[in-house]
A and B are shown apart, each in its own frame.
Chain A
């Protein structure tokens, strides 16, 4: 298996633009997680899905952030409009039972 796949790996955009991050979980995994990592705040859980259903989105910082999982093999995290403080590395992870497998991350820079 190729592991968790995220795209793009790097994204540079201007404030106010829409940003969409993509994730393909490992086949057969039924849980998917989106995290944000910054120097100041460390690793933060934004949202997690189980069987494509959002279970807990309490970590989503504000209404500018939204996430979807239309099927078991694809998820998106959208930021609209983006702001400089959204600059971070965004990780997607998937799991079947206990262990989470992380993707390589998307480094987002909002100018």
Chain B
């Protein structure tokens, strides 16, 4: 069975500092990996996705993530955060060829002035 673990429930960081949000997954088959962002009172919006190919994936708003198969991780990074990045971030995994997404519990990023 698949599972997704987001190790940090909350991450406070000062504006213009770098940030890393951690995500680990478990699966016995090949997977697709996603990061979604949820701003207050809104639905989830795709930040980036890994399907195949280059393990470094770039997304919107300056975010990027690296797929590490040996460590079964897909950590999200941004070199310099803005106040507007304050939101909840969800990591998700889906086995290739299926439709069932497994979402992590979310990490609340709070950017401080």
A contacts, CB < 8 Å to B: 4, 31, 33, 42-43, 45, 48, 50, 55-56, 91, 93, 95, 98-105
Contact = CB atoms under 8 A, between A and B. Distances in A.
Given A42-B105, A98-B32, A98-B94, A48 B43 contact: no
B7 to A, nearest CB: 15
Contacts of A33: 99, 101
Given A43-B90, A98-B32, A98-B49, A105 B43 contact: yes
Interface size class of B (residues with CB under 8 A): 10 to 19
A48 B99 contact: yes
A31 B43 contact: no
A99 B47 CA distance: 11
Interface string B72-107: 000000000000000000100010000111010110
Given A98-B32, A98-B49, A45 B43 contact: no
A102 B99 contact: no
Given A42-B106, A91-B44, A98-B51, 12 more contacts: A4-B43, A31-B99, A43-B90, A43-B103, A45-B103, A48-B99, A48-B100, A50-B99, A55-B99, A95-B99, A98-B49, A99-B49
A102 B101 contact: no
B42 interface: yes
A-side interface mostly: strand
6 contacts: A43-B103, A50-B99, A98-B51, A98-B94, A100-B101, A101-B46
Contacts, number: 45
Q: Which of B44, B45, B49, B51 has the most CB of A within 10 A?
A: B44
Contacts of A91: 43-44
Contact of B46 (A31, A56, A99, A103): A99
